[in-house]
Structure 1
Amino acid sequence: MHFLLLGATGRVGTRVLERALADNHKVTALVRNPQKVNQHSEQLTLLQGDACNPDDIHRALADVDVVISCLNTDGGTVLTASMPFLIEAMKAQGVSRIVTIGTAGILQSIEHPGLLRYETPDTRRSSTRAAEEHRKAWELLQASSLAWTVVCPTYLPDGEALGTYRVARDFLPEDGRSISVGDTAAFTYNTACSNEYVGCRVGLAY
């Protein structure tokens, strides 16, 4: 399989890249600074570029089967700026499967039906800016014809994959408090290798 990986230098993206290369998949990583990628493999193609540049996205999608986006909000609007270009380029090049990283804030609230978790009156978030960015990116995917999945981890400390996490479609598993970077990467990669969870957000927690 040939993956396009966005966000390959981030915490989750680095682990996803390790897993894909360990399984001998081809990976094209579009990164702003290739020197930040410490993986080396004949299966890895590093492209210097910007996910918000449509020409770079089109170039990176050549011969790709699946897109994995581990981009974060980066303190700005990178998610909402890049997603329209990514969707358009995927459609133009016949790539349908995409798995992205979101946030548990855009999952449905159990206690407050009709609201997302970040919208509830008992949210502990001091700012909803990042959640709103993730929501807009998810809504763009919803409106597309792509086979999308948004992985929505809760509090995300560093840590290795334990493989004992719980998942729930569109909700956070009950009393979920955290999920490691390692397990988030493992779930994201495994989901990208399958057609499971297409068309839904997936809550991830221990």
Structure 2
Amino acid sequence: MRILVLGATGRVGSHIVSLALRDKHIITAVVRNPNKVKVDNENLHIIQGNVLEKQDIENAMENVDVVISALNTDGTNTLTKSMSLILDAMNKMNVKRIITVGTAGILQSRLMPSILRYQSSESKRKTTFAAQEHHNVYELLKKSDTDWTIVCPTYLPDGEYTGTYRIERSLLPKGGVEISVADTAEFTYQQIQCKEYLKSRVGIAY
């Protein structure tokens, strides 16, 4: 499979790249600084570019089967801006499948099911900027004709891979307070072969 990974040098993204290369997939990664890529593999194709540049995204989208975005907010509106470009390029290149890593804040609140967690008292975050950015991405994906899945982890310590965690559509599993980067990456990566959570947000926690 040919996979475009965005955010490939980040905590979750780098794990996803390793898992995909292990299974002999062909990976394209758009990175601002190629020196941050510590992997040397003939199946890994690095494109130096910016996810906020339309042409860079379109170039990377050629001959791709699935997109995985593990981009984070960087304290800016990168997520919102880049997703519009990603979706336009996917439409142009006829790519249908996209998996993104979001946040548990954009899952439904258990206490007030009509709103999202970050909008409710369930959220312990002092600022909602990052959650709002992920919410914007969710709204863009909902309006698209792609087969999208948003993986929504709660607190993300580095931790080890365990393969044992709980998942729930649209909600954070009850009592869930954390999930390791490695387990989040593994579940996200699994979605390239899974159709169970198309057009869904998926909460993940121990």
Task: State the TM bucket, normalised to the shorter chain.
Answer: over 0.9
Q: CA RMSD in A?
A: 0.7
Q: CA deviation at 1:123?
A: 2.6
Q: CA deviation at 1:159?
A: 1.3
Counterpart of 1:150 in 2: which secondary structure?
strand
Counterpart of 1:168 in 2: which secondary structure?
strand
Give per-residue Cα distances to partners, 1:129-164, cap 9 Å, x unaligned: 000000001100000000000000000000121011
Provide the residue aligned with 1:90 in structure 2.
Answer: 90
Give per-residue Cα distances to partners, 1:44-84, cap 9 Å, x unaligned: 10000011111000000110000000000011010001011
- Is 2:188 the partner of 1:167? no
Give per-residue Cα distances to partners, 1:103-127, cap 9 Å, x unaligned: 0000001111201000013431100
Residues 111, 122 of structure 2: 8 Å contact kept: no
Counterpart of 2:191 in 1: which secondary structure?
helix
Provide the residue aligned with 1:45 in structure 2.
Answer: 45
- Counterpart AA for 1:65: D
Provide the residue aligned with 1:112 in structure 2.
Answer: 112
Measured in 2, the distance between the counterparts of 1:113 and 1:97 equals: 28
- Is 2:42 the partner of 1:24? no
Provide the residue aligned with 1:129 in structure 2.
Answer: 129
- Is 2:177 the partner of 1:177? yes
- Counterpart AA for 1:107: L
Counterpart of 2:62 in 1: which secondary structure?
coil
Counterpart of 1:151 in 2: which secondary structure?
strand
TM-score by length of 2: 0.98
Measured in 2, the distance between the counterparts of 1:75 and 1:62 equals: 29
Measured in 1, the distance between the counterparts of 2:21 and 2:149 equals: 21
* Structure 1: tracts of 5 or more residues without a match: none
- Is 2:57 the partner of 1:57? yes
Counterpart of 1:105 in 2: which secondary structure?
helix
Percent of aligned pairs with the same residue? 52
Measured in 1, the distance between the counterparts of 2:129 and 2:13 equals: 22
Counterpart of 1:28 in 2: which secondary structure?
strand
Aligned length: 206
- Counterpart AA for 1:173: P
